């Protein structure tokens, strides 16, 4: 391959990257340090007040007062996304392991089933949970059939939001976990039993360490979209439990504060990049340790 | 012999669906014995070994380990360790951690584990590699670590499933001697699986020859080579000439058989109940040629010659029958027999065996 071809051959890829990734990020970054327009939108004037607004409110006499409102939202976002990731991980591991133990025909079918939810629009899937969790919904009816008291209020709770997030993103956990679990030589598990280890030992000292790459990849694939998710907090959380995704959405929408929305979006972006960097460093250390 | 048995396999059968992998297998393995399961591919050696380890359960029959029934005991409770065919070393652990794995599970304290791991590494001459990972080792080194790991907890029985098959020829020979020495030094009962008869003859105290899901014969290497009890064993172990014939007289342990060679041969038999069709077996190295022809001497023609270095194999036609024989090349300028030459061949009657069908 000639040098020129290698250069020009990559131009479409670079163009796509620049147009769809770099430029939009630069625009958002620009808007985040712009001045808020009087009737929505923004004026090109350098102004850091949007970032200041994340931590402070301006009091009666123009003094800055610390306001934890948005820090709480960021904290909640991290907490819920982390929770959803952890639950996905705990659920995905046995599922992935179970699939890996099946005949190759059944494996293919089961993996298709895992990805099945992706064939349906995200909004429809989240609405389905509204029906399940809602007032007089499926869950409440089942609860009553088994003699439970008349209860309601599954919906619009953190539990409902996390349930929805786990449901939406768990295939992204199962697939990489499956890929790494499937590669584990069954003889290694037999060897751990042979060497006086029970099931728990096999899981803790053989399966988990060997599945670690898949667990990490899956965790990132779930955690990152959960950080920015909009539908679950809006529909299942009823807007009562704001998360960063919903906050950004309302700033660009109803609140008409584009610079503030952009600033929150930049914070979200930084959180995502931090997650990836932390993981890259950990993976690097692991590589070093094996050498 | 009243040696106590380490393992008793009691009338064990194993079915996979409607396929019978083991068919009423019944034998004992003695304490401190180097015991080999030998047989062609698919005869059920691995299945039997996995059953002793606890990875399979018998469909019927049972297993005893030092007199205790273990057929239903989970693998991790059995004081039995395995050297797996591809070694199954834990790739994410150092060699030390691999060896310590079982000891930790047994609840040994740290100091004792460290001492034991050092001792095992020394035993297999791998001290300087303690902190390496398995993928940084050669096949032979991995083999040694697998051995060290399996022997660390001093199991009552060590199971080895074709541990040498992945090694090259030279290394295999060296490891044979090492394994044998290790067994003698540790005094642990070894159950060794192979389909390589030379390996089995070289290393074992006793061999169980398996075929078609059954134990065909159990005995010392010499017994199964010199006195095979059936045609399967005679055929599988070493090389032999089979001559179909008719037993005309049966007198206690001796049978007289008439074959296409013409001469009537009287020798020990196995498994005959009366006169009738039977097979005579005579091994190539037991047939003399030229001035070494003794016993039953016959005249034939050389049909083929294969020079093998230490030996030359000849095929000699006698009437309708061909016999393969091998002559030791005792001297470097020894004359070889020409193809087409008329030669005298002979063997002692007592070296032939008559086998039932
Ligand atoms: N899990 C299983 N399911 C079905 N059939 C099996 C299973 N395990 C073994 N078999 C069959 O049982 C027979 C004996 O297998 P086994 O592995 O014990 O043979 P082997 O003597 O060890 O052969 P090799 O020398 O090739 O290793 C084979 O025909 C094999 O196909
Ligand atoms: Mg086998």
Per-residue pLDDT 10s for chain B (357 aa) are: 457 899 999 999 999 999 999 999 999 999 999 999 999 999 999 999 999 999 999 999 999 999 999 988 999 999 999 999 889 999 999 999 999 999 999 999 999 999 999 999 998 889 999 999 999 999 889 999 999 999 999 999 999 999 988 888 888 888 899 899 999 999 999 999 999 999 999 999 999 999 999 999 999 999 999 999 999 999 999 999 999 999 998 888 889 999 888 888 899 988 888 888 999 999 999 999 888 888 899 999 999 999 998 899 999 999 889 999 999 988 888 778 889 999 999 999 999 999 986
Q: Does residue A10 fall inside a structural domain?
A: no
pLDDT in tens, A231-286: 888 888 887 788 999 899 888 888 788 899 999 999 999 999 998 998 888 877 77
Q: Does residue A30 fall inside a structural domain?
A: no
Same domain, B97 and B190: yes
Cβ of B88 and A187 within 8 Å?
A: yes
Q: Compute the nearest-CA separation of B147 from chain A (Å).
A: 12
Q: Does residue A29 fall inside a structural domain?
A: no
B231, B248, B278 — which closes off a domain? B231
Instruction: Tell how far the Cα of B215 is from the centroid of ligand 2, in angstroms.
Output: 15
Instruction: Tell me the average pLDDT of chain A.
Output: 88
Range of the domain at B113: 5-231
- The pLDDT of A70-78, averaged and rounded, is 93
Partner B contacted by A193 (CB < 8 A): yes
How far apart are alpha carbons B231 and B183 in whole angstroms? Answer: 32
Same domain, B41 and B91: yes
Range of the domain at A133: 50-57+65-282
Cβ contacts from A onto B, under 8 A: 63
Q: Per residue in B239-270, is it b (16+ CB within 10 Å) or e — as a string? A: ebbebebebeebeeeebbbbbebeeebbbebb
The ligand 1 atom nearest the CA atom of B47: 18
Domain count of chain A?
1
Cβ of A194 and B133 within 8 Å?
A: no
Check pLDDT > 80 for residue A151: no
pLDDT at B2: 57
Partner A contacted by B73 (CB < 8 A): no
Nearest CA to ligand 1 atom 9: B47
Cβ of A187 and B81 within 8 Å?
A: no
Nearest CA to ligand 1 atom 16: B44
Residues of A with CB below 8 A from B90's CB? 188, 191-192, 205-206
Question: Which stretch of DSSP H or E encloses residue B316?
Answer: strand B311-318
Check pLDDT > 80 for residue A153: no
Same domain, B96 and B62: yes
Same domain, B346 and B210: no
Q: How much is the pTM?
A: 0.83
Domain count of chain B?
2
- The pLDDT of A117-138, averaged and rounded, is 84
B82 closest CB neighbour out of A194, A197, A210 = A194
Same domain, B243 and B227: no
Check pLDDT > 60 for residue A290: no
Span of A105-109, A136-140, B180-184 with lowest mean pLDDT: A136-140
Which of A194, A200, A207 is most worth mutating to test chain B (most B CB atoms within 10 A of its CB)?
Answer: A194
pLDDT in tens, A176-224: 999 999 999 999 999 999 999 999 999 999 999 999 999 999 999 999 9
Mutate to test the pocket of ligand 1, among B13, B18, B46 (most ligand atoms within 8 A of CB): B46
pLDDT at B290: 85
Residues of A with CB below 8 A from B105's CB? 195-197, 201
B182, B206, B231 — which closes off a domain? B231
CATH code of the domain covering residue A81: 1.10.3720.10
CATH code of the domain covering residue B96: 3.40.50.300
Instruction: Tell how far the Cα of A99 is from the centroid of ligand 2, in angstroms.
Output: 26
Q: Does residue A124 fall inside a structural domain?
A: yes
Ligand 1 in contact with B45 (CB < 6 A)? yes
pLDDT at B87: 93
pLDDT at A8: 86
B196 with B23: CB under 8 angstroms? no
Check pLDDT > 60 for residue A113: yes
Q: Compute the nearest-CA separation of B135 from chain A (Å).
A: 10
Residues of A with CB below 8 A from B154's CB? none
Same domain, B123 and B38: yes
Strands B189-194 and B34-38: parallel
Pure H helices in chain B: 45-53, 95-105, 110-123, 139-151, 169-186, 197-203, 221-226, 231-236
Ligand 1 in contact with B16 (CB < 6 A)? yes
Same domain, B162 and B276: no
Nearest CA to ligand 1 atom 31: B42
Nearest CA to ligand 1 atom 14: B44
pLDDT at A288: 65
Residue with tokens 């001459």: B125
Contacts 24+ apart (CB under 8 A), B335-341: B336/B305, B336/B307, B336/B312, B337/B289, B337/B290, B337/B302, B337/B305, B338/B302, B339/B302, B339/B303, B339/B304, B339/B305, B340/B301, B340/B302, B341/B301, B341/B302
Which of B54, B75, B102, B108 is most worth mutating to test chain A (most A CB atoms within 10 A of its CB)?
Answer: B75
Instruction: Tell how far the Cα of B46 is from the centroid of ligand 2, in angstroms.
Output: 4
Same domain, B200 and B58: yes
Band the pLDDT of A287: cuts 50, 70, 90.
low
| Number of the ligand closest to the Cα of B160 | 2
Same domain, B170 and B24: yes
Ligand 1 in contact with B128 (CB < 6 A)? no
Instruction: Tell how far the Cα of B193 is from the centroid of ligand 2, in angstroms.
Output: 8
Ligand 1 in contact with B332 (CB < 6 A)? no
Partner B contacted by A209 (CB < 8 A): yes
Spatial neighbors of A215 by CB under 8 A, at least 6 apart, are A89, A93, A176, A177, A180, A208
Check pLDDT > 80 for residue A1: no
How far apart are alpha carbons A175 and A263 in whole angstroms? Answer: 34
Same domain, B30 and B164: yes
């Amino acid at each position: 391959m000639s040098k020129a071809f290698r250069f020009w051959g990559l131009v479409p890829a670079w163009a796509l990257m620049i147009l769809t990734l770099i430029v939009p990020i630069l625009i958002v970054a620009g808007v985040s340090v712009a001045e808020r327009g009087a009737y929505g939108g923004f004026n090109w004037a350098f102004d850091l007040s949007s970032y200041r607004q994340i931590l402070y409110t301006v009091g009666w006499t123009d003094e800055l007062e610390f306001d934890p409102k948005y820090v709480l939202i960021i904290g909640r976002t991290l907490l819920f996304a982390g929770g959803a990731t952890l639950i996905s991980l705990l659920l995905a591991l046995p599922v992935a392991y179970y699939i890996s133990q099946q005949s190759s025909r059944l494996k293919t079918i089961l993996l298709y089933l895992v990805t099945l939810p992706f064939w349906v629009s995200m909004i429809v899937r989240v609405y389905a949970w509204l029906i399940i969790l809602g007032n007089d919904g499926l869950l409440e009816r089942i609860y009553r059939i088994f003699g439970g008291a008349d209860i309601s209020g599954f919906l619009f709770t953190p539990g409902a939001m996390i349930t929805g997030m786990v449901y939406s993103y768990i295939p992204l956990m199962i697939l990489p976990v499956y890929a790494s679990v499937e590669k584990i030589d069954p003889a290694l598990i037999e060897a751990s039993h042979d060497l006086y280890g029970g099931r728990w030992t096999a899981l803790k000292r053989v399966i988990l360490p060997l599945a670690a790459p898949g667990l990490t990849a899956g965790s990132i694939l779930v955690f990152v979209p959960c950080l920015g998710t909009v539908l679950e907090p809006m529909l299942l959380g009823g807007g009562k439990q704001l998360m960063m995704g919903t906050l950004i959405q309302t700033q660009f929408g109803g609140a008409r504060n584009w610079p503030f929305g952009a600033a929150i979006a930049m914070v979200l972006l930084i959180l995502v990049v931090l997650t990836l960097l932390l993981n890259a460093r950990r993976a690097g250390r692991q590589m070093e340790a094996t050498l | 012999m009243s040696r106590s048995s380490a393992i008793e396999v009691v009338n064990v059968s194993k079915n996979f669906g409607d396929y019978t992998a083991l068919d009423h297998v019944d034998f004992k393995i003695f304490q401190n014995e180097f015991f080999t399961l030998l047989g062609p591919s698919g005869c059920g050696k691995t299945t039997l070994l996995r059953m002793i380890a606890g990875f399979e359960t018998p469909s019927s029959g049972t297993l005893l380990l030092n007199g205790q029934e273990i057929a239903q005991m989970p693998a991790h409770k059995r004081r039995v360790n395995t050297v797996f065919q591809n070694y199954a070393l834990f790739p994410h652990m150092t060699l030390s951690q691999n060896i310590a794995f079982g000891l930790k599970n047994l609840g040994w304290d740290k100091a004792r584990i460290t001492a034991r791991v050092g001792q095992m590494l020394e035993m297999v001459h791998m001290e300087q590699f303690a902190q390496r990972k398995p993928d940084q080792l050669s096949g032979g080194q991995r083999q040694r670590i697998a051995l060290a790991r399996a022997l660390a907890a001093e199991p009552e029985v060590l199971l080895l499933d074709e541990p040498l098959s992945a090694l090259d020829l030279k290394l295999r020979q060296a490891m044979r001697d090492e394994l044998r020495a290790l067994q003698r030094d540790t005094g642990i009962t070894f159950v060794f699986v192979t389909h390589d008869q030379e390996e089995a003859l070289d290393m074992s105290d006793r061999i169980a020859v398996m075929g078609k899901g059954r134990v065909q014969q159990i005995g010392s290497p010499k017994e199964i080579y010199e006195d095979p009890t059936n045609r399967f064993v005679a055929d599988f172990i070493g090389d032999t000439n089979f001559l179909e014939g008719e037993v005309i007289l049966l007198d206690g342990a001796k049978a007289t058989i008439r074959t296409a060679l013409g001469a009537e041969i009287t020798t020990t038999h196995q498994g005959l109940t009366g006169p009738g069709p039977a097979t005579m077996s005579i091994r190539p190295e037991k047939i003399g040629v030229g001035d070494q022809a003794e016993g039953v001497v016959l005249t034939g023609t050389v049909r083929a010659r294969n020079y093998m270095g230490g030996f030359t194999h000849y095929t000699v036609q006698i009437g309708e029958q061909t016999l393969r024989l091998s002559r030791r090349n005792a001297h470097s300028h020894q004359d070889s027999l020409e193809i087409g030459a008329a030669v005298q061949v002979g063997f002692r009657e007592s070296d032939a065996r008559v086998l039932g069908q």
